[in-house]
Amino acid sequence: MGEVNLPGPTLTVPEALQSFTSKGLNVNDMTTLLGGHTVGVAHCSFFQDRLSNFQGTGAPDRSMDPTLVAKLRRICGTNANDPTAFLDQNTSFAFDNEYYNQIRLRRGVMQIDQELASDTSTAGIVSGFASNPGGFQRSFANAMIKMGSIQVLVGNAGEIRQNCRVVNKGKPQQPSNPGTPKKPTTPGKPKKPTTPVLKPKKPTTPSKSKKPITPKKPKKPITPTKPKKPKTKNQASKHK
Ligand code: HEM
């Protein structure tokens, strides 16, 4: 399988953009796709550096709303288990354009999110989406389709993960190309679909999750390029 090139949360917008353009996506696509952060969570270790002594300033990241700083400090505290906070601080469970409003209010949780609102290459797109929910939805659908066509693996070149954070253990249980399903072995009685059902819950003890190994070649965990702190084994593959 190919290399994994996931950008980390402390990349600057131009650095992140380089990552996207290297895959054929443009600044509109990137700004749209980061709107995916309208749902879901981030572990404290991905943004805790912003909460105090940010970049050696002795103070929290000044681009973060102080109320949010206080809230995130309460959530993260000194808990060694690396808790999580919602990426969209307002409508955390709705797939809407609120992420853009939040980052304009300096309520972006990760550095990359916050910078999206201020970088000259993306600020205009952000304010456009903030005031145009339908425009964001349409743009998101298109950008997802575009992203979905990048370096698609077919045949035995890839696999459909049963847990999206790790490569499957052992032999893949279904064809990796969903377009060519296997014939059912008992004609007339269709087999139970083998497509994995994504579990909504994360493993409660991430450190015990499976080591990503396949029979052919051991895989590296997916590691965002610049984590602020060294991660535990599993956090390295937290990105969905
Ligand atoms: C520059 C690009 C991106 C960076 C640096 C980035 C970084 C991150 C990080 C660090 C997390 C937290 C992971 C964790 O703590 O477990 C996260 C979560 C998430 N990201 Fe991204 N991401 C990027 C692009 C995207 C894109 C393109 C999408 C989808 C269109 C996306 C969707 C999500 C979602 C849904 C979550 C929440 C996962 C959960 O709740 O477990 N991200 N991202």
List, for residues 158-180, the tens digit of each pLDDT value. 888 899 888 898 754 454 444 44
Query: Residues in the chain with pLDDT < 50?
Result: 1-2, 172-173, 175-223, 225-240
20-23-28-30 Cα dihedral, nearest 10 degrees? -40
Length of the chain equals 240
The finding on whether 34 has its CB within 6 A of some atom of ligand 1 is yes
pLDDT attached to residue 236:
37
Number of other residues whose CB lies within 10 A of the CB of residue 218: 10
How far apart are the CA of 36 and the centre of ligand 1, in A?
7
Predicted local confidence at residue 48, as pLDDT: 96
Amino acid of residue 214? T
Q: What is the 3-state secondary structure (H, E, C) of 205-216?
A: CHHHCCCCECCC
The secondary structure element, H or E, covering residue 124 is helix 123-130
pLDDT value of residue 158: 87
Whether ligand 1 lies within 6 angstroms of the CB of 8 is answered as yes
* pTM of the complete model: 0.75
Query: Is 239 annotated among the ligand-binding residues?
Result: no
Phi-psi region for residue 58, left (φ > 0), alpha (ψ -120 to 50) or beta? left
**Cβ(112) to ligand 1 under 6 A?**
yes
29 is in an annotated binding site: no
Q: To test ligand 1's pocket by mutation, which of 84, 91, 137, 240 has the most ligand atoms within 8 angstroms of CB?
A: 240
Main-chain phi, psi angles of 41, to 5 degrees: -130, 165
Task: Name which residue sits closest to atom 38 of ligand 1, judged by CA.
Answer: 40
Atom of ligand 1 nearest to the CA of 84: 15
Q: Check residue 204 and give its pLDDT.
A: 39
Contact in structure between 42 and 240 (CB atoms under 8 Å): no
Which of 19, 26, 37, 82 has the most ligand 1 atoms within 8 A of CB, as the residue to mutate? 37
- 188 alpha carbon, distance to own chain's centre: 41
- Which residue has 């955390």 as its token pair? 92
Give the model's pLDDT for residue 171: 57
96 carries a ligand binding annotation: yes
Written as six digits, the tokens of 238 are: 């937290």
Residue 3's pLDDT is: 59
**What was the pLDDT predicted at 170?**
76
